[in-house]
Structure formats: C-alpha cells, structure tokens
C-alpha cells in the first residue's frame, strides 16, 4: 500500500551526480528546500563558466585562468583516483584561486589540456603499438 502522506521530491539528477562525484560547486547550486537552481546558472555561450578577469593581472595569469580555472566539460563523468597528496594540494589552492571550481573540474581541465597538447605524440605511440602483430605462441 502506498502512503498517501508521502511527500514527493523533485530531484535534479545531474546536480546530484555532480555532488556524488565531488563537485563542490554543485552544492552551492542547491537551494534550502533541496531543489536545484541549475537553470539559473550563468554559463558562457560555449558551455564554459565565465571567470572574472582581475584588472591589472599579468597576461600569464589571465591565460592560466582561462585555460585551467574555467569549468569547460559538462556531461557524464567517471570516477577515478589521484594520489592523496595531489588531491590535498589542489583542494588547498582552489578555494583561493578559483572558489567556484571543484577539484574534479580542475583535473578535467588539466587532463583535457594535456591531451590536446600531446595529441600527436600520443597518437604516434598508440599507432606504433596498435599496428604490431600479436605474438604467435608455440603450440
């Protein structure tokens, strides 16, 4: 039998997935009643979360902010592990330099940049290994 006094909650599953994945910025999007305010979220045209430029900041800092401190990738995520010392170092710095960015979002940005920068080398290594003939085992 169904309980007629049971309250039905409207849950934003995308925000819930982000919270479970460790995205602390997703927690801030949730309102007091538990509903998500993600439709009110301000995103840039291309899906990047805008960073506030610091007036008078050196160009290298602005380039770094744009490259690594703006949330770029959206969608489904996968859990992975990083060394505890790396996590603690990133988690200690991010609240100061990018308070709205989570550790997983920062790691996504760094990995995305790495894969773009070394795409040709990675493809070369992959193609070299992928085209090798398998070992013929003696019967």
Determine the 3-state secondary structure of 42 from DSSP.
Answer: coil
25 falls within a domain? yes
Same domain, 17 and 78: no
Binning the chain into helix, strand and coil, the percentages to the nearest 5 are 50, 0, 50
Reported as a single tens digit per residue, the pLDDT across 105-134 is: 999 999 999 999 999 999 988 888 887 776
User: Residue 23: its pLDDT value, please?
Assistant: 65
Flag whether pLDDT at 38 surpasses 60: no
3 falls within a domain? no
User: Residue 27: its pLDDT value, please?
Assistant: 61
Same domain, 21 and 75: no
Same domain, 106 and 125: yes
Q: How many domains does the chain have?
A: 2
Same domain, 73 and 104: yes
120 falls within a domain? yes
135 falls within a domain? no
Same domain, 53 and 75: yes
User: Residue 113: its pLDDT value, please?
Assistant: 92
Taking the model in full, what pTM does it have?
Answer: 0.54
Mean pLDDT computed over every residue of the chain: 76
Same domain, 17 and 36: yes
Same domain, 76 and 107: yes
Same domain, 29 and 51: no
Closest listed residue to residue 97, CA positions, set 54, 135, 130, 137: 54
Structural domain for 23, as ranges: 9-41
Reported as a single tens digit per residue, the pLDDT across 57-89 is: 788 888 888 888 887 767 888 888 999 999 999
């Amino acid at each position: 039998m169904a309980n007629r006094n049971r309250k039905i909650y409207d849950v934003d599953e995308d925000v819930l997935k982000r919270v479970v994945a460790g995205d602390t910025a997703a927690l801030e999007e949730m309102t007091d009643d538990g509903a998500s305010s993600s439709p009110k979220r301000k995103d840039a045209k291309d899906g990047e979360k805008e960073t506030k430029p610091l007036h008078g900041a050196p160009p290298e800092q602005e380039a770094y902010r744009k490259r690594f401190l703006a949330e770029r990738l959206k969608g489904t995520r996968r859990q992975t592990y990083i060394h505890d010392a790396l996590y603690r170092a990133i988690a200690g710095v991010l609240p100061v330099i990018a308070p709205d960015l989570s550790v997983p979002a920062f790691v996504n940005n760094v990995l995305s940049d790495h894969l773009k920068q070394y795409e040709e080398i990675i493809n070369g290594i992959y193609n070299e290994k992928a085209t090798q003939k398998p070992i013929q085992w003696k019967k």
